[in-house]
């Protein structure tokens, strides 16, 4: 079987519709985890009877520690 020569090339054009210029191939961007992780942390606090609101990303270990301390102090009041 004879196969003709095939030239393969790639052209990259960033998407103006996403923050990183990426395009999904059957998937969306990575915004899901950015929302899911803070919500999971808030839910964990809620299950312990503590109410917190995460409004600042990224969530660093220091910020998480501060949230825990603030929630404990509010719970004592």
Per domain, the residue ranges of the chain are 31-76
Lowest pLDDT segment from 8-12, 23-27, 53-57: 23-27
Q: Is the pLDDT of residue 31 over 80?
A: no
pLDDT at 45: 92
Per the CB < 8 A criterion, the answer to whether 22 and 29 are in contact is yes
Instruction: State the pLDDT confidence band at 65, using cuts at 50, 70 and 90.
Output: very high
pLDDT at 61: 94
Q: What is the mean pLDDT of residues 20-40?
A: 75
Q: What is the mean pLDDT of residues 45-49?
A: 91
* Residue 43 parent element (H or E): helix 31-47
Residue that wins the pLDDT comparison between 53 and 77:
53
Question: What SS3 state is found at 69?
Answer: helix
């Amino acid at each position: 079987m004879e196969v003709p020569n095939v030239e393969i090339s790639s052209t990259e054009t960033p998407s103006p519709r996403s923050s990183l210029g990426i395009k999904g191939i059957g998937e969306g961007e990575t915004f899901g985890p950015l929302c899911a992780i803070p919500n999971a942390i808030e839910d964990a606090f809620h299950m312990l009877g503590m109410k917190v609101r995460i409004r600042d990303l990224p969530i660093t270990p220091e910020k998480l520690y501060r949230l825990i301390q603030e929630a404990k102090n509010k719970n004592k009041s």
